[in-house]
Amino acid sequence: MRRSSALAAVSALALVALAAEARAVVRVTLETSPPQPVAGQPFHLVYTLQVQNDSMAQATQLQFPGLTVLANAAPPSTANMMIGGFGGMGMFTVQSSAEYILVAPSAGRFTVRGAGAVNPQTGRTSAQLAPYVITVQRAGAAGTAQPAQPAQPMMQGFPPGMFPPGMFPPGMMAPDPQPQAPPVTVNDPDAPPTGEIGSAQYNPAGFVRLAVDNATPYVGQQTTLRIWLYVPATEVGCELLREPQLTGFWNEQLIDRSQIRCARQWFTQVVGGRTMSAGLVRKIALYPTRAGRQEIGAPEVIGEYIEGDGFFGQRRQFNARGPALVLDVREPPTAGRPQGYVPGLLGPLRITADLDRMSVATGETVTLRLRAEGNGYLGAVGLPTPPRVEGVRMHPGASHHEVDHSDERNVRGVLTAEYLLVPERPGTHALGTLVVPWFDPSDERYHTTTVPLPSLVAAGAALTRDADETREDPTVALDPFEVSPTIEAHRPFFTSGARVWGAVALPPFALALAGLARALRRWRERRLSARDDAQRNDPLSLMRQADDALAAGHDAKAADLAGRALERARKEFGAPATDAARDAAREAQAACDTLRFGGSGAARDAVEKVRAAVRAMESGP
């Protein structure tokens, strides 16, 4: 039988047993695992609070003199749970525990103090435990005891011995089998590194860890950044409050954020003697754009998880900020660098070239298309320009870049660059050869890729060239507006002292004039705003508007303005101070409330009553 069914059966039995009489019991216990810890090694201390038939109890804070606390959970706290019985009310026991991870610096006897429980409502001590002594053995000592395993698991929430052996069928009180944590896949490149948490700020409640597979890349070389979230639970919800700052890097996201709830993959790892779940929340391919020390900004993750089981567990919220990560980016060596090398162009590099048409008439445009395949940074670098050929004009065309993420360890980029060619004379034009130098980080050497460009055949008459040889493209050539411009002598303006002082005084005078205009405009806006506010909120002004509405024959509007005037008078002058003022306000309110049943005479009568009430409230006592 599962735990839920067992709990229902036990609750029914406890109902009968406790209906007659309920006695208050509060217990606190401490237990170490292993019972005899070893110096320098983490061990666990379980702090348990049991409450039976009593009001709420709260455990007091423990003191650990001489011990180092790695994980300091909050003291346990639990509330009563009541069940109705036959002819009475029964309360059964509830239990809560907190686990501490401690380390003793040396062998010896260490005393833990402060274990107890108080009633948070009255502040009285309801349980007190004597100082708890922990005997720590030196490292390598023989006879270290292992924690004993209970023959039968105890039902959580009930004290030991409450139900004698044989009371229930075998297996009825056994808890649900807990799912086993998946083992760490060592060969998985997305698994967090083992060993010390050198690049993370450890926190037992949850922390963020960053790592790159290459901390000293070359400019343009791929290095993969992975971000893991560590939590002491398996059911986690999270999101990145702040993404890592990637200034100085070209980046490609390798995880589709819309397809994951918190992390793409979870691993299990023991950190500081505590089993934690590590989830891969980000995986980014980085390409440094400049050499030197480049910093990856700290990310920040928020979320929540359930600590403990689903029935007695507590919901924990966390805000974890990861550390910054610094990379030492290298520049490809200058020794032996080929001429025309574009910084950041890494290989291996494969390039092809083709024309959309092999033969055209002179003056027509042909597209030369270069297609290069290399690493993911190729789109940010580009390719060298093809050599210019006599008799063929060349202009840059469109280009686009695609990234292939199928192999995340080696993200590939495909760059397509186009050039527009216009033959100016007939014949076969050999476009030559394109030589592209690149650097290979694997062998740290420079290489070149040679691409033979196709030939272009042009037919027709040769094009006439402009006399100005510098104008290659007629569409961007600039012609003068006047072929023979007239030339006049320069006439200086500052020929007298008055002009000089006038030019000096003009900017301050203009600023002062602009400031005065701005001040006048603000004064006028404030005056209009005050007038509008008075018209909307002043009771006497509202009454004058009501009179104007009556004179114009708008009874409904007059009644509405009178009602607003009465409401504003109450807010401005307060409650009526005299009996006469109170009677006048009451009659005015009643007249306004019944206006919908009257006609013009009723509206005028209501306005007059409101006027009398406003004057009475304004005059005061």
Tell whether the model's pLDDT for residue 343 goes beyond 80: yes
Residue 134, amino acid: I
pLDDT class of 467 with cuts at 50, 70, 90: very low
184 Cβ contact partners less than 8 Å away, ≥ 6 residues apart: 191, 194, 267, 268, 269
pLDDT class of 478 with cuts at 50, 70, 90: low
Q: What is the mean pLDDT of residues 194-220?
A: 85
The C-alpha atoms of residue 139 and residue 104 are separated, in whole angstroms, by 11
Please, what's the b/e burial string for 207-224 (b: 16 or more CB within 10 A of its CB; e: otherwise)?
bbbbbbeeeebbbbbbbb
Q: What CATH number belongs to 350-465?
A: 2.60.40
Q: Which of 348, 300, 303, 352 is nearest to 322 (CA)?
A: 300
Q: What CATH number belongs to 207-329?
A: 2.60.40
Q: Which of 330, 336, 302 is nearest to 317 (CA)?
A: 302
Q: What is the mean pLDDT of residues 272-285?
A: 89
Asked if 346 and 439 touch (Cβ cutoff 8 Å), the reply is yes
More confident residue, 86 or 47: 47
Please report which helix (H) or strand (E) contains residue 560, including its range: helix 555-573
What φ, ψ does residue 324 adopt, rounded to 5°?
-75, 155
State if pTM tops 0.75: no
Tell whether the model's pLDDT for residue 309 goes beyond 80: no
Is 1 exposed, middle or buried, given 0-12, 13-18 or 19+ CB atoms closer than 10 A?
Answer: middle
Q: What is the mean pLDDT of residues 458-467?
A: 79
8-state DSSP, 161: T
More confident residue, 93 or 340: 340
The C-alpha atoms of residue 214 and residue 346 are separated, in whole angstroms, by 16
**Site of tokens 């589709």:** 256
pLDDT of residue 149: 38
Q: What is the mean pLDDT of residues 421-447?
A: 94
Q: Helices in 455-554 by DSSP H: which ranges?
A: 497-537, 539-551
353 Cβ contact partners less than 8 Å away, ≥ 6 residues apart: 368, 369, 370, 371, 434, 451, 452, 453, 454
Tell whether the model's pLDDT for residue 73 goes beyond 80: no
Asked if 45 and 112 touch (Cβ cutoff 8 Å), the reply is yes
pLDDT of residue 411: 92
Tell whether the model's pLDDT for residue 506 goes beyond 90: no
For the chain, the domains span 3-136, 207-329, 350-465, 537-619
pLDDT of residue 151: 38
- pLDDT averaged over the chain? 78
Please, what's the b/e burial string for 189-204 (b: 16 or more CB within 10 A of its CB; e: otherwise)?
ebbbeeeeeebbeebb
Q: What is the mean pLDDT of residues 471-497?
A: 65
The C-alpha atoms of residue 35 and residue 145 are separated, in whole angstroms, by 7
More confident residue, 170 or 601: 601
**Site of tokens 């400031």:** 515
Tell whether the model's pLDDT for residue 465 goes beyond 90: no
Q: Which of 113, 74, 114 is nearest to 96 (CA)?
A: 74
Give the tens place of pLDDT for each residue, 237-276. 999 889 999 999 999 999 988 878 889 999 988 887 788 8
pLDDT class of 92 with cuts at 50, 70, 90: low
Asked if 561 and 545 touch (Cβ cutoff 8 Å), the reply is yes
**Site of tokens 């039902």:** 155
The C-alpha atoms of residue 588 and residue 585 are separated, in whole angstroms, by 5
104-113, 177-186, 596-605, range with greatest mean pLDDT? 104-113
- Percent pLDDT > 70 in the chain is 77
Rounded to 5°, the CA angle 401-403-406 comes to: 160
User: Yes or no: is domain 3-136 CATH 2.60.40.10?
Assistant: yes
Give the tens place of pLDDT for each residue, 132-158. 889 988 876 544 434 333 334 444 444
Tell whether the model's pLDDT for residue 579 goes beyond 80: no
Whether the ω angle into residue 131 lies within 30 degrees of 0, i.e. cis, is no
Region for 559 from its dihedrals, namely left if φ exceeds 0, alpha if ψ lies in -120 to 50, beta otherwise: alpha
pLDDT of residue 140: 66
Q: Three-state secondary structure along 163-225?
A: CCCCCCCCCCCCCCCCCCCCCCCCCCCCCCCCCCCCCECCCCCCEEEEEECCCCCECCCCEEE
Tell whether the model's pLDDT for residue 310 goes beyond 90: no
Same fold, 3-136 and 350-465: yes
More confident residue, 616 or 351: 351
